[in-house]
Amino acid sequence: MSTKILLSHGGGGEETQSLIKNLFFKHFGNDILLHMEDAAVLTMKSEKIAFTTDSFTVSPLFFKGGNIGKLAIAGTVNDLSMMGARPKYLTCAFMIEEGFEYDKLEEIVVSMRDEMAKSGVKIVAGDTKVVPKGGVDGIFINTAGVGEVLKEGISAHALRQGDAIIVTNEVGNHGACILAMREELELQSDLKTDCASLWKSIEALIDADIKIHALRDATRGGVSAVLNEWAQTSNVGIHVREADIPVANEVKGMCELLGFEPYEFANEGTMLIALPQSEVAKALEVLKRFEETSKSALIGDVDDRFEGRVVLQTPWGSERFLEPPKGELLPRIC
């Protein structure tokens, strides 16, 4: 095997077959995938099936605590999980830039395998394209997934007056980590992405029969985007307390330096939960059992003061609207 990916690896011939067998089958291998048919034939236990897709591009491809491969698995697993669905099967398509290093591709594939083990999901179909240099930035990955809906009715429309809002981790770590590692910034930082598959903690919430009204992972647009979307979709007001929202000190520092808000930074393993107040204690107890949700905190509630808006209360009691993120994130000037 050559040490770089060549156009011929995507040509469909012998090199493609060898890449599939020596790399993808080696790490992703399962009964369905190894059948090598034109399409995977699946058996699902539930009548209701959740189905989603997402494409992943990130620069840099490798960052503290993960890489694009881990993101591509956790991202789709989490999208299914947010609908109360057990992630079952994924498809995976790679778009690889000619000249990409084989070892790096293997590193990505291995971390995808490891991430799948955490939720038990399987890749059952795949595709590989190699494009000429400059066609993509290193590698793009698309994953689509299906899951069995175990808990129905979880929806952005389902928030009600009096609901409590929980966040399951420190916010902004992924966005800040990626930003710090960008070539033009080169900030020294130990910040790690929060990238994680959240299915196990959600399964535990479902098993504990905790009533959940809405669930969403706070990816692009961060916590701010999710809360605003909920407030608008359910036509309720959401009130959150800044003092209770966990934010790593390093993230705060970076936001100060560049003029950003941690609530607008992307997360890749942090979700928001809206649920009845009576369920909060039980839910927090369950969430704290899992490493990825061990920092869960009650951050606010649903009220009717400003319908469709999110109000952020400072630690000294003054308030402001938390606006949904707009435009591209541009650093402050001075």
Partner 1 sequence: MPEVDLIEGFRDPVHMKALAAIIRKECTRKINIMEVCGGHTHTIMKYGLPQLLPDNIEFVHGPGCPVCIMPKERIDHAIALALMPNTILATLGDMIRVPGSKSSLQKLRADGCDIRSLYSPLDVIKIAQDNPDKNVVFFAIGFETTTPMSAVVLEQALRLGLKNIFFHINHVSVPEAVDAIMSGGDAQIDAFLGPSHVSVITGYKIYEPIAKAYRTPVVVAGFEPTDVMESVLRIVRQINHGKAEVENQYARAVSREGNLKAQALVKTYFEKRDHFRWRGIGDIAHSALKLKPAYAAMDAEVVFDDILPKVLLDDHKMCICGDILKGRAKPYDCKVFAKACIPSNPMGSCMVSSEGACAAYFKYGNLNLKGAKA
Binding stretches for partner 1 (CB under 8 A): 182, 184-185, 243, 249, 252-253, 256, 258-259, 306, 311, 314-321, 323, 326-327, 330-334
Amino acid making up residue 230: W
134: Cβ–Cβ under 8 A, 6 or more apart, which residues?
97
Nearest approach in angstroms of CB 66 to partner 1 is 23
In the complex with partner 1, which residue's Cβ is closer, 115 or 242?
A: 242
- 93: helix, coil or strand? strand
Closest to partner 1 by CB, 101 vs 256, is 256
Nearer to partner 1, 85 or 238 (CB): 238
Query: With 0-12 CB in 10 A as exposed, 13-18 as middle and 19+ as buried, what is 36?
Result: exposed
- CB burial class (10 A; 0-12, 13-18, 19+) of residue 189? middle
Helix (H) or strand (E) holding 170: none
Contact predicate 70/194, CB 8 Å = no
Kindly state the smallest distance separating residue 253's Cβ from partner 1, in Å: 6
- State the minimum distance, in angstroms, from the CB of residue 246 to partner 1: 13
Query: How far is 62 from 202, CA to CA, in rounded Å?
Result: 27
Which helix (H) or strand (E) covers residue 11, if one does? none
Max CA pair span of the chain: 67
HSE on the CB side for 234, CA within 13 Å?
Answer: 26
Minimum Å gap between C-beta 314 and partner 1 is 6
Least distance from partner 1 to the Cβ atom of residue 255, Å:
9
Q: Two tokens at 54?
A: 């997402």
Question: Exposure string (b/e) for 91-110, b if CB count within 10 Å is 16 or more?
Answer: bbbbbbbbebebebbbebbb
Query: Least distance (Å) from partner 1 to the CB of residue 301?
Result: 17
What does the angle CA 306 – CA 325 – CA 74 come to, to the nearest 5 degrees? 110
Shortest distance, position 69 Cβ to partner 1, whole Å: 27
